[in-house]
Structures are given as C-alpha cells and as structure tokens.
Structure 1
Amino acid sequence: MKNTNWTLDNTHSEIAFKVKHMMISTVTGHFEDFQATAKTDGDDFNGAVLEFSAKTASINTKNKDRDAHLQSDDFFNSEKFPEMKFVSKSFNGDKLVGDLTIRDITKEVTLDAELNGVAVDPYGQTKAGLEIRGEVSRKDFGLTWNAVTEAGSIVVSDKVKLVVDVQFTKQA
C-alpha cells in the first residue's frame, strides 16, 4: 500500500535531454517548468509510483530560435500539446518502467533509475534523490522533422538521451 507522498524539490531537480546535431556534436536542453510526485511505502522506493510532467513551451536549449522551432508543429507543437507526461508502472530500484506521453502519443519506456538515498536535511525535512537515465526515439512520439546536410548527414538524431535528476521532499 502506497501511504507516503513525496513532492518535488524544484530547486534541486532538473529534467534534461541530449541529442546529436549533424551527428558530430551534442545539444543539451532542459524543461524549465516541470512537476513530479512519488508515492511510496514509507521511505522504501521499491515499487514507488512516480509521475512527471513538463510544459513543452518551457524548453530551453540556450538558443531562442531553436527553442521556438522545438515548440512548433515540427516538434512538440506546444500550443496543441502543452504538456508531456510520464507515469510509472514499476520501479525496482534499478529500472523504472512507465508510460511516456508526448503529443498525445503514449509509449511504454524502460529507464535506468537509481535511488541515491534518503536523508534528513538541516531543517528536519526528509529528502530522497533519484537519478534517471534513458534513451527514447523521438520519432516514436511524432517528432519526425529532419533535414539532410550537403554531406548527407542528418541534422537531428532520432535517439534522445534523457537525464533526469530529482529530489523529493517527504510530506507529513
């Protein structure tokens, strides 16, 4: 029975991604507006139910033109699909399995996940830290835009690496 609720500590968390550009360099981006919750049996995260959501219009790659393109219908279509979501189905301390929804397309994904620990901060709050890593195909979610360079290289890789570092605060 899941009886402990955890809320996200946004100041100690980030949802990021990495994708190859022209197959020669890697571009990193973040979602600035995101939420997450966890439900556990006490402090035991095995079997935890984790939920994440991010506002697609909050994407930040440190390039306004690229961010605007990513928000357009070529990619996220932030106007029509303002949020992406992940809802876990299982977590065993090593693998996190759940449904990822982008552009109203839902696919099951398996991510590597590690609970870094549970500790009490100097203010008496119980905190838990998770590192989540994985790779998804952007085309599986309808993000299919691409172009080819003069040399024949694709501009944007299909594979997107997810880098999620989150800290939760236990609720009383």
Structure 2
Amino acid sequence: MKHLVIASLVLAAGAANAAEYKIDPGHSFVTFEIGHLGVSKTAGRFNDIAGNFTYNDDNSGSAELTIQAASVDTNHEARDKHLRSPDFLDVKQFPTITFKSTSFDGEELKGEITLHGVTKTVEFDVEKVGEGKDPWGGYRAGFEAKTTIKRSDFGVTYFIPGVTDETDLEVFIEGIRK
C-alpha cells in the first residue's frame, strides 16, 4: 500500500508540472522539401495547422497536430493545384494530415502520422527554441522538429523518381499556455 501511495504522489507531482499549450497558428508552420528531377529541390509549406501539446519540467510531453492538406503552398498556383489532386495529396478524399505522439523525451518525438489515409510511425528530432512570458500576459513555448518520410510509404507514388520519394519535413511550433 505504501508503494501505491508513493507512486500516486509521484504521478500527481508530475502531472502538476505539466503545462498544456494550444498551438498558435500565426507563429507555427509545417514545411517540406523534396527533390525535383535530380537538379533542384522544391520547398513548400502548409498554411493551416492546429493542435495542442504538453510540456513537462522533466522534458517529457505529448503533441497532437492537424494539418489541412488543401493549405499546401509552394508559391506556384499550378503546382499547388496538382499537389492537391489524386496524384499527390488527394485533398478531397483525405482533407487532413494528422500527427499524434506516443512518446517524447525532450529530444525525440515519436508518434503516428496519418497522410493520404495511411498511418505510420515516425520519429522527429526535436529542439526546444525557448519559452517565456509574452507582452500580453501569456506564456509561450516554441519547438522545431525534423524528420524524413518516404511518400511511397503513404501510397503517394506519382512520378517517382522524378520527384523524390524521400521528403524532408520540418515543424515549427509556438504554443500559448492554456
């Protein structure tokens, strides 16, 4: 019984140190970079993201992110229209890209990403950018996360190898503590 009480107190103390944040979409974004014809790279971003994360004093936490796939933006209207088509993101059938973490140790964030209707485990390398009070009386924290996925793992195989299979993803998140 004594061990159960101690374990409960430890868990309660850990929960008390957890901070919950809502992602600030005006200061957060997801970018991607992909090779084109072996001669250049194309970069883009998703403009519509939402989510939450927790961050604990012991550098543990969790994250959930939803991206509106139709918000893809490569600064080229015709290419963006093609990326929204069934050849790539198929946004009518798969309107969102989601991520839900399964573990975080302060440097590595593991979780499940669902893209194009397929869910796979991914690992992001994470760097904490900073945290602190903002001028409006709130409290913010920011992180950067990087990973590489193979789009073929998610059933997106159009024009490989002209457009490379490997896609670099970078997530820049700023959250406002709830």
TM-score of the aligned structures, taking structure 2 as reference length: 0.87
Match for residue 33 of structure 1 among 48, 66, 80: 48
Runs ≥4 in structure 1, deviation > 3 angstroms? 1-4
User: How far did residue 117 of structure 1 move?
Assistant: 2.0
1:11 equivalenced with 2:26 (yes/no): yes
User: How far did residue 4 of structure 1 move?
Assistant: 3.2
1:155 equivalenced with 2:162 (yes/no): yes
Percentage of matched positions with identical amino acids: 33
1:61 equivalenced with 2:74 (yes/no): yes
- Structure 2 unmatched ranges of 5 or more: 1-14
What is the alpha-carbon distance in structure 1 between the residues aligned to residue 40 and residue 21 of structure 2? 37
- Superposed, 1:15-164 pairs within 5 Å as 15-41=30-56, 44=57, 46-146=59-159, 154-164=161-171
Which AA in structure 2 matches 1:164?
V
What is the alpha-carbon distance in structure 2 between the residues aligned to residue 94 and residue 23 of structure 1? 32
**Is the deviation greater in 32-41 or in 11-20?**
32-41
User: How far did residue 45 of structure 1 move?
Assistant: 6.8
C-alpha deviations, 1:8-45, integer Å up to 9, x for none? 1112111110001112111111111111211244xx37
What is the alpha-carbon distance in structure 2 between the residues aligned to residue 9 and residue 23 of structure 1? 36
What is the alpha-carbon distance in structure 2 between the residues aligned to residue 54 and residue 11 of structure 1? 14
Contact 2:33/2:41 (CA < 8 Å) preserved in 1? yes
Count of paired positions: 163
Contact 2:25/2:48 (CA < 8 Å) preserved in 1? no
> What root-mean-square deviation, in Å, do the aligned CA atoms of Structure 1 and Structure 2 show?
1.5
1:165 equivalenced with 2:178 (yes/no): no
**Is the deviation greater in 116-125 or in 69-78?**
116-125
What is the alpha-carbon distance in structure 1 between the residues aligned to residue 58 and residue 128 of structure 2? 8
- Structure 1 unmatched ranges of 5 or more: 148-153
Which AA in structure 1 matches 2:105?
N
TM-score of the aligned structures, taking structure 1 as reference length: 0.89
More helix by share: 2
SS at match of 1:36: strand
C-alpha deviations, 1:60-113, integer Å up to 9, x for none? 111111111111111111001000000001111111100010111000001101
